[in-house]
Structure 1
Amino acid sequence: MADRTSSSITIEADRAEIMAVIADLESYPSWASGIREVTVEETGPDGRASRARLTFDGGPFSDTVGLAYQWDGDEQVRWELVDKGSVVTGLHGSYRLAPVDGGTEVTYELAVDVRVPMIGMVRRKAEKRIIDSALKGLKRRVEG
Structure 2
Amino acid sequence: MVFANRKDEVRRIEERLTKDGISAAQMSGDVPQHKRIRTLEGFREGKIRVLVATDVAGRGIHIDGISHVINFTLPEDPDDYVHRIGRTGRAGASGTSISCAGEDDAFALPPIEELLGRKITCEMPPAELLKPV
Mark yes or no: TM-score above 0.5. no
Which structure is higher in strand share?
1
* Larger relative helix fraction: 2
**Structure-2-length-normalised TM-score:** 0.32
Higher relative contact order (CA 8 A, sep 6+): 1
TM-score by length of 1: 0.30
